[in-house]
Amino acid sequence: MSLPESELIRREYVLRDLQFLSDVKLARRSLVRWLALSLGLISPNESRTLILDVLDALFCFHFKRIEPDMVQIIEEVDKMRGAKTGEKAIRYHVGQLKKSGIIESRKRHYRFVPSPQQEDYDLVAGLEYAYSQNAKEAFEKIRKAAKSLERSY
């Protein structure tokens, strides 16, 4: 009998400690890719680039202190790509980022999740908060499971 383990996963975070080489800083696209790899949003050698364009658009809005709606995100991604992109695919990536807890929507406007202890536009504090909250919740469950396992011996 197989267990439906994939259905049990609420969130999954991968955090990578990548070397930050000087050539990464030469192009914005390289920085976006480096951040996506570091945050586990793409896999090494990932060839699909739409998530990078979505992130790039969200970073652009974030640093301009704009909370875009979905139409604005789609328009920005299309502008970056120089062509119409599948709206459904962009919505999927935004949804995945929201599901992971990295971004949130308020009144159908999107932003990176802010840290409660920092100002709204501190990107790294918000990302650190989102990842540490997930780790904290995961370890609370791991602690319960380990205690149950210990009682079984």
**What is the per-residue pLDDT across 55-90, written as a single tens digit (0 to 9) for each?**
999 999 999 999 999 999 999 999 999 999 899 999
pLDDT digits 0-9 by tens, 22-52: 999 999 999 999 999 999 999 999 888 999 9
Count CB atoms within 10 A of the CB of residue 115.
19
Distances from the Cα of 103 to the Cα of 30, 54, 70, 145, angstroms: 21, 12, 13, 30
At residue 106, what is the residue type?
A: R
Partners of 111 in the beta sheet? 104
User: Dihedrals φ, ψ of 103, to 5°?
Assistant: -120, 165
Q: Residue 101 has which token pair?
A: 């807890």
What CA–CA distance (Å, rounded) separates 101 from 48? 22
Identify the band that residue 147 occupies on the pLDDT scale cut at 50, 70 and 90.
very high
* Residues shown for the chain: 153
The pLDDT score that the predictor gives to residue 1 is 58
Look up the pTM and report it: 0.86
Does 9 have pLDDT greater than 90? no
Which pLDDT belongs to residue 46? 87
Please give the mean pLDDT across all residues of the chain.
92
* Predicted pLDDT of residue 16: 93
Nearest to 73 by CA among 108, 125, 47: 108
State residue 6's pLDDT score. 80
Above 80 in pLDDT, residue 113?
Answer: yes
pLDDT value for 2 = 67
- Residues near 39 by Cβ (< 8 Å), separated by ≥ 6? 14, 15, 16, 102, 127, 131
Residue with token string 């009682």: 151
Question: Which runs of E-coded beta strand occur in the chain?
Answer: 103-106, 109-112
Q: Is the pLDDT of residue 5 over 80?
A: yes
3-class secondary structure, 112: strand
Confidence of residue 7 (pLDDT cuts 50, 70, 90): confident
CA atoms within 13 A on the CB side of 87: 4
